Amino acid sequence: NYLLETELEEEIVKGNMIAWSRNIGRSITLIEWEKVWSRNNKITKSAAFKENAYKMFYRWHLSPSRLAKMHPRHESELLEMQKKGGNILPYVVVLYRCSKILAEN
């Protein structure tokens, strides 16, 4: 009877979890994800920093090569940034360094 009454907790695996697991080279447990979330919430009270953490966590950040496809007029600037900073830059760094793109929007 007890086994029938107990509800089993279901782990929800999202696309970003799979992508991060591929990058790290191993699977990431739900407990590890919870630690990351709680640590992020304790680190700062700044909404701007939390927003950037969410963008990185959910992979909403835009790499310079992706921004170059979206804004072809600034492709040379963005690709130069990519050479200086690696393949993926945090979302906020890309936008702060590319003031011309911000002026367009």
Average pLDDT over residues 21-45: 82
Q: Output the pTM of the full model.
A: 0.46
pLDDT for 42-63, tens place per residue?
Answer: 777 777 777 777 777 777 766 6
Residue scoring higher pLDDT (43 or 99): 43
pLDDT for 36-45, tens place per residue?
Answer: 888 877 777 7
Residues 6+ apart with CB under 8 A from 53: 40
pLDDT at position 31, please?
A: 86
Range name among 2-6, 17-21, 23-27, 57-61 with the lowest pLDDT average: 2-6
